[in-house]
Structure 1
């Protein structure tokens, strides 16, 4: 049985490794992301494709099987909002943390936007769509 300390240490090491990789391939650089979203440079798309291919292989080796369920009504509009926010701000929820750690302080605005967006999602989801609070988690 794993202790909480060992799990925490593993999470910290994994997070630091992910941040290092993400920073070194350019996902923390707004100009790099802008070139990807404006189709000026396909390098980032290829990085995404490589990551997807890698996880498909890992899931196959581990025999991870998921049965597709019903798609939640908020998935498509949520994906559109997510992608639009990413294109405008230059970061999905994890990237602004990498940007702040790299010294790019304007990314704090993106982090505030993510927090406000999650709170608005919870409020609108429970008030108008009768969804549980867990449907707006990262």
Structure 2
């Protein structure tokens, strides 16, 4: 005889279903080491130096443009490897790329990002390398980046998307 069980959709899922696999301390350590490596790389390649950024925006030298193009090529190659071998995230989830739609907000945000980058000499990654390298004025850049991020979050419903 077949038995049927009645389910109530309003009940929360069982505890075992809700539990996410914990990220191991080794994974966090690897992320930290990668961050330290990138900070050293940013410092040694002078990506985190204000003068390099300034010279890039004035088209005085190609150093930064070559680094940016190299980063794009590495990212393209990495995405192909991720797709081909179906590599998963640290949490074990599939990594999927879905392009974001183009809209007016992208242009406005890009202009604000570029202006901030030109004035401060840092985009988000090098801020930490600058602070780690003893450039304490970068703390103001960090505060400005955080204020921008929180402002965007607060204004997001009113912005063009």
Superposition TM-score tier, normalisation by shorter sequence: 0.7 to 0.9
Larger Rg: 2
TM-score normalised by length of structure 1: 0.83
Q: Is the 8 A contact 2:131 2:139 kept in 1?
A: yes
Could you say which residue in structure 2 is the equivalent of 1:61? 81
Structure with bigger RCO (C-alpha 8 Å, 6+ apart): 2
1-structure distance, mates of 2:69, 2:139: 28
Q: Which runs of 4+ in 1 moved over 3 A?
A: 64-69
Could you say which residue in structure 1 is the equivalent of 2:58? 38
2-structure distance, mates of 1:3, 1:117: 29
Could you say which residue in structure 2 is the equivalent of 1:88? 119
Give the gaps of 5 or more residues in structure 1.
132-138
1-structure distance, mates of 2:80, 2:114: 28
Which structure carries more helix by proportion? 1
Cα offset, 1:130, TM superposition: 8.8
TM-score normalised by length of structure 2: 0.72
Q: After the TM superposition, which of the residue ranges 33-42 and 117-126 deviates more from structure 2?
A: 117-126
CA RMSD of aligned residues (A): 2.2
Cα offset, 1:101, TM superposition: 0.7
Give the gaps of 5 or more residues in structure 2.
1-20, 85-95
Compared CA separation, residues 61 and 103, structure 1 to 2 (3 A): same
Cα offset, 1:54, TM superposition: 1.6
Compared CA separation, residues 13 and 71, structure 1 to 2 (3 A): same
2-structure distance, mates of 1:80, 1:69: 17
What secondary structure does 1:63 align onto?
Answer: helix
| CA deviation profile, 1:16-42 (whole Å, cap 9, x unmatched) | 111111111111110111111111011
